[in-house]
Structure 1
Amino acid sequence: MIFKKIRTQLRRRWDIQMTIVELNHLDNKELDDLNISRWQISNIAAKNARS
């Protein structure tokens, strides 16, 4: 049970980190289309690091 929870959390962190990497590769127009600004990416990363 505990291993399943740990594995789930690790997978979630990996997914979030990969999403942040992908967001960083987008140009400003693509980010605007997603209604995300550059500074929000670093905020998402910071929130993830604390959780």
Structure 2
Amino acid sequence: MVEASNYQMAIDLLCCHLGISEEEAKQQLGITSEHASQAHVAEMQQAMLGLTNEK
């Protein structure tokens, strides 16, 4: 995963010009934190389990 600090200027520009939060700017750039990535994986696993349990 790429460090967000490498994209800090882009993050700052998005925050300033679009009036969005730093987290929203990171999402726009495709940068997510480790915690957010793990949460997404957990959600996907739950969804996949739900598909296999349906009959």
* Higher relative contact order (Cα pairs below 8 Å, separated by 6+ residues): 1
TM-score using structure 2 length: 0.41
Greater fraction helix: 1
Whichever of the two has the greater Rg, that structure is 2
